Amino acid sequence: MDKVKNIAGNAVLGLILTLTAATGYADSVKPVKSVKGKLSVMILGSGGPLPPMGRASSSYLIFTDGKPRILMDAGGGSYGKLSASGAVIKDLDIVLLSHLHIDHTADLSAFVKAMYFQSKGAGVMRTAPINIYGPGANGKPFPNTKIAQYPSTKEYVDGHYHKETGVQRYLNIFAKAISAGEFAYTAHDIVPAQTKGISTVYDKDGLVIKAVGVVHGPVPSLAYRIEYGGASIVFSGDTNSKTDNMEKIANGADLLIYDTAIMDNIPDVTKNPADKVFFALHTTPSRMGEVASKSNVKKLLLSHITPITQPRLDEVKTIVKGKGFKGEIAVAEDLKVYNVK
């Protein structure tokens, strides 16, 4: 029995060492070495649901005082970018979900498990809960039914991690089994999801997080604003920017990360009328330019890039500038770091 325990223990230790090496604790060339100043964002995923080559789906790692503090979305492929980044998220305690589509949530559990493995690798017993914020349910049913299309964030998170009913409830014992600490989480519904009012959802030790409901078709969706050290980052999530909510939450922001999934006239609804759904879900470059100009942001970062926009990014920039935006425009790249202040 002792031999079996030793083999199992060595296997876990070997996995931890492998993960530690993959995340680059001592690798001076890792992207995390570019993080400087009070507030920074590292792009872990700048693509959409069908990301162009080289891009993972939506995910952003926010640093305060050089330390990773907030994970904003966790789309497919973004966990692999974390490994390449060199960032250690053992102390990360805030997750912001813009909405519950797969290309924004698929890798969430991989990030959660990594927090405990990295705690183990650092010789730290994690006790802080993971606070997961996201939209509340809006009750929009499937056609001709009473079945809601989307759960609340709490229902979604509990469905994964609740000790009694979660499909990944093993994490409640796994963290203890590898001596990484106590698994704990708290899910926060931001309700109502589609409203004109901006809510402050977190305000502690100089870190302020605000949210507002935005229109993404029938999907409960949020845009976020993060403020720290006199600087601000705004993330649109996915939205068609139909209301003035984006203008309000982005007002005066240092960096605005924007949904760049479609063009003004692509998809071509004259050829396929069904494609009009994409204009109910995403923002055209013209509307993006109006929002960026009216909100007077300093830098606009094009992200959530799709096969439609990837070959037309110069055209996107031209359209945005044509709407009066005078600030800097950049194209998000996975693993690139933007130091806001």
* Rounded Cα gap, residues 224 and 27, in angstroms: 32
Query: Judging by beta carbons within 10 Å of its beta carbon (0-12, 13-18, 19+), is residue 169 exposed, middle or buried?
Result: middle
Q: Which of 96, 47, 30 is nearest to 331 (CA)?
A: 47
Q: Is the pLDDT of residue 25 over 50?
A: no
CATH number, domain 41-339: 3.60.15.10
Is the pLDDT assigned to residue 258 strictly greater than 60?
yes
Tell me the per-residue pLDDT of 144-185, one tens digit each, with 9 for 90 and over.
999 999 999 999 999 999 999 999 999 999 999 999 999 999
What are the domain boundaries of the chain? 41-339
Binning pLDDT at 50, 70 and 90, where does residue 197 land?
Answer: confident
DSSP track, 68-133:
EEEEEEE-TTHHHHHHHHT---TT--EEE-S---HHHHTTHHHHHHHHHHHHHHTT--B-SPEEEE
Stretch 123-139: mean pLDDT? 94
pLDDT digits (tens, 9 = 90+) for 2-19: 444 444 444 444 444 444
What the block records as the tokens of 110 is 């991989």
Average pLDDT, the chain: 92
Residue bearing tokens 């071509």: 268
